[in-house]
Amino acid sequence: MTSDTEPAVSFTGAVKNYGTVRAVDGVDLAVAPGETVALLGRNGAGKSTAISLLLGLIEPDEGSVRLFGAHPERAVRDGRVGAMLQEARAVPRVTVRELVTFVAGRYPTPMPVARALELAGIAELAGRRLDRLSGGQVQRVRFALALAGSPALLVLDEPTSALDVEARQAFWTSMRGYARRGHTVLFSTHHLQEADAYADRILVVDRGRIVADGTGEQLKRSVGGGLVAFDLAGRPSDGLERLPGVRSLEIRGDRARLRTDDPDATVLALAAVGAIRGLEVAPASLDEAFLALTSSVTEAA
Amino acid sequence: MFDYLKLEVRRTLRDVGFVVGGIAMPVLMYLLFTNLGADDGTWKTGAMVGMAGYGAVGCALNTGGGVAEDRAIGWLRQLRVTPMTPRQVVVGRTLTGSVTVVPAIVAVLAAGGLLNGVRLAVWQWAAIAVLLWLGSVPFTLLGLGNGYRLTGQTTGVTNMACNLGLAVLGGLWFPVALFPNWLRTVSACTPTYRFAELGTSVASGHAPTLGAVAVLSAWLLAFGSYAVLSYRRGAGTS
């Protein structure tokens, strides 16, 4: 038996190679029961491979992966895991209710099917066949399949990619509701705002490694710095990029925007030359934190 | 397991292609082949067994097409993250195959008895149905082997080729008596010929020959191994 002190998810030096590519390159992490964790990274950063390892769909080449202290396959067999995988398409010739009922029935303590459909926002689609639904509707069906068994650990790989804004909102509300009842949730995304808004904790993944681990606030703070903006008021912009702390300079119309590692020093230097009209200091955004943490050299888009 | 069987049988029977190609076609072909040209009572019975066998082989192979489709859409992968074990999934699929061959067998036998006036004893009807049903298992395994190994489209084509090739070679469409000698020798080794022989022996009033059972068992073993190997190869990617 596993105890409550056992982490819901733990990776110890996990490595997975695909040919010469290190898709997962020595990952250590522990997720406590009840946490909601986002795996944030660009496409190709290694998120999906990490999730495949986590679900026991593939075995690590080195290191180990444990769910509730056991081999992932064991945890899956015991019905402690529900997952929404990325590349799944509609299962043809079956209705939403039939499919959700079937999956719920595989688990020892499922939630009522009607409840799963309602949480996923597809109660009105229950009698429809999957192959006659839109992409967004199918994605919600897959969310219902993940929830149906009432699993202790819910794993969602890029869960909102096919959803419109409204469905996205509804999706996150349901996910939060499920997490609040003490379930562990781990989702992957490349949307910073989603990670920031809906996770207790963000793991930034880049090139198969976890390059940062903390709340959105902590990540922003760890990058430090910020943005200092002021009106040039006709003043030349030469030399501004050489002020203390300044990393980059951008001129928009009459306004100068300085990205700086040390906002205090930059502001003092600006004040010394009297360039403080319309002065504005903003902390780094999560976007900036993300860019600073991951190697932007290889950025695709 | 029973739920999985129910789900997959339901999905198969909702497939219009399956119902038309797997059930209606053999019945139509049977009626066509036996009611054109010279009429001979024994051919009506022989063709009935042959076409029921042809339908059963088609439906059995179709199970593999379903597996290839399920792999392609990620359904098998989704099953792997539920508490179902891979063994349950494979056994469930095999059982699905053995259930979905039944309508084709029953439909062609019914056409024979009701429309073509084939007269047999009750035990013969029952024995033919049961033997064709049991004898279709090697073909289900062949289909599964294809389905776990190949992509969806290739599986469809391969199954079709297996189905037509084995049907013609095995004399399910035309009596083997019309074949040249050398082809008859080949035919005697095919699983389809021996499969039909199970039924034709009973129809003519005696038990299936030892040869039929032996050859069919060898194919059962061969196709079974093929299915297991294919499954192992495809397991990582399903």
Question: What pLDDT, on the 0 to 100 scale, is given for residue A16?
Answer: 96
Measured CA to CA in angstroms, residue B159 lies from A58, A199, B64, B144 at distances of: 30, 48, 8, 10
- Say whether both A161 and A136 belong to one domain: yes
Helix, strand, or coil (residue A161): coil
Residues A165 and A277 in one domain: no
Q: Which residues of chain B have pLDDT under 70?
A: 37-40, 234-238
Give the model's pLDDT for residue B238.
45
- Asked whether residue A186 falls in the same domain as residue A139, the answer is yes
* pLDDT for A36: 97
Query: How close is the nearest chain B Cα to the Cα of A252, in Å?
Result: 49
Does residue A160 sit in the same domain as residue A184? yes
pLDDT at position A249: 86
Report how many domains make up chain B. Answer: 1
Residues A229 and A210 in one domain: no
What's the pLDDT score for residue A246?
87
- pLDDT score, position A295: 58
Report pLDDT digits (tens) over B45-79.
Answer: 999 999 999 999 999 999 999 999 999 999 999 99
Is residue A35 located within the same domain as residue A123? yes
- Which of A82, A93, A142 is opposite residue B14, by nearest beta carbon? A93
List of chain A residues whose C-beta atoms are within 8 Å of the C-beta of residue B70: 91
Three-class SS of residue B144? helix
Give residue A2's pLDDT: 47
Look up the domain containing A34 and give its range: 9-220
In chain B, the DSSP E strands lie at none
pLDDT of residue A296: 47
Average pLDDT value for chain A: 90
Nearest to B84 among A90, A99, A106 (CB): A106
Same domain, A118 and A233: no
Nearest to B64 by CA among B76, B54, B53: B76
pLDDT above 90: residue A55: yes
pLDDT in tens, A190-249: 888 899 999 999 999 999 999 999 998 888 777 777 888 999 888 888 888 888 888 888
A124 and A190 both lie in a single domain: yes
Q: For an interface test with A, which of B1, B82, B87, B96 has the most A Cβ atoms less than 10 Å from its Cβ?
A: B82
Q: What is the pLDDT of residue B38?
A: 64
Contact B83 A79 (CB under 8 A): yes
Q: What is the ipTM of this complex?
A: 0.89
Do A229 and A216 share a structural domain? no
The two structure tokens encoding residue A177: 């509701």
A41: pLDDT strictly greater than 80: yes
* Distance to chain A for B56, nearest Cα, Å: 22
Q: Is A298 part of any domain?
A: no
pLDDT at A264 over 90: no
Q: What's the total number of domains in chain A?
A: 2
CATH of the domain at A190: 3.40.50.300
pLDDT for residue B236: 47
Of B116, B158, B157, give the one whose Cα is nearest residue B27. Answer: B116
B77·A88 Cβ contact <8 A = yes
What pLDDT does A276 receive?
86
Q: Do A145 and B78 touch (CB under 8 A)?
A: yes
Query: Quick one: average pLDDT of A132-136?
Result: 93
Question: Are residues A268 and A142 located together in one domain of the fold?
Answer: no
> What tens digit of pLDDT does each residue of A254-263 get?
899 888 888 8
Residue A296 lies in a domain: no
Please give the pLDDT value at position B235: 58
In a 3-state reduction of DSSP, which class is residue A188?
A: strand
pTM above 0.90, yes or no: no
What whole-number distance in Å separates Cα of residue A162 and Cα of residue A86?
11
Size of interface A-B (CB pairs under 8 A): 69
| Dist CA B91 CA A194 (whole Å) | 41
Q: Which residue of B has its CA nearest to A100?
A: B7
Q: Which of A192, A267, A199, A200 is nearest to A227 (CA)?
A: A267
* The pLDDT value given to residue A174: 95
All residues of chain A having their beta carbon less than 8 Å from the beta carbon of residue B83 are 76-79, 106-108, 149
Residue A231 maps to a domain: yes
Q: State how far Cα A124 lies from the chain centre.
A: 29
Residues A184 and A231 in one domain: no
Q: What is the DSSP string of A212-258?
A: EEE-HHHHHHHH--EEEEEE-TT---TTGGGSTTEEEEEEETTEEEE
